[in-house]
Amino acid sequence: MSRVALLTECLPYDSNYYSSLTLEDRFSLVGGNTGNNAYLTAISEIFDAKYVNYGELDVCLSEDRYDIYIVGNLSWILENSPLPDFYYSAFKKIISAGKKFIPISVGTQVSNYKPKFEFHVDTLKFLKEISEHAVIACRGSYTAEQLYQNGIRNIDVIGCPSLYHTKNPDLKINKPLRLRENNPSIATGITPLPNGRLTVKKIQEYF
């Protein structure tokens, strides 16, 4: 059976540990997005993957701990902006060691739909190189469309991994016209980083 690692900057959620931290620190530990907990937990459970921080990668490779490295944090691809160098460095190290690099939840970020997403030349080169080694699993059809327009063909649209928590291949989501009665429970993910007006203080008003 393959040994699987989930390569991420985020820490696995621990209610006892998190309860002692400020809200700002909690945001930092989940990559500035509460939704990261949902899809990272799903990936971990589905593939029995162990959390590995980027700082641990060299040791994991030298000690041959894992066969597959799943990367789930390529969902913040911004226009005309290069990805952090450590993503590419990690990719090269993993491939050079003969291990598998699996990109899940790859996504582009735009406020409104635009026919042509302007990839930074280094980001596009990186994604093309990744596609030579693995299928790029996209968060949505827009990202897949933009990659295809730029000559990247080894792609598939899977949505957010959090949809697969149940491991049910027949999962369907029906959106009702109105919320059900009897005080329905509502969950929300909060991402303040791309919106300067959405401060932590403002977020606290929701609770």
Q: For the segment 1-30, what is each residue's pLDDT rounded down to a tens digit?
A: 689 999 998 877 777 777 888 877 877 777
Alpha carbons within 13 A on the beta-carbon side of 145: 8
37: three-class secondary structure by DSSP: helix
Whole-prediction pTM? 0.81
Whether residue 173 lies inside any domain: the answer is no
DSSP H or E segment with residue 153: none
Domain for residue 47, yes or no? yes
- The pair phi, psi for residue 70, each rounded to 5°, is -90, 130
Q: Identity (one letter) of the amino acid at 183?
A: N
pLDDT tens, residue by residue, 37-88: 888 889 999 999 999 999 999 999 999 999 999 998 788 899 999 999 999 9
CA distance linking residue 71 with residue 109, whole number of Å: 18
d(Cα 89, Cα 161) in Å, to the nearest integer? 24
Number of domains in the chain: 1
Provide the 3-class DSSP secondary structure of residue 136.
strand
In a domain, 175, yes or no: no
- Which residue range is the domain that position 31 belongs to? 4-168+182-204
Partners of 17 in beta bridges: none
Three-class secondary structure of residue 181 per DSSP: coil
The yes-or-no verdict on residue 198 having pLDDT over 80 is no
φ, ψ (nearest 5 deg) of residue 177: -70, -30
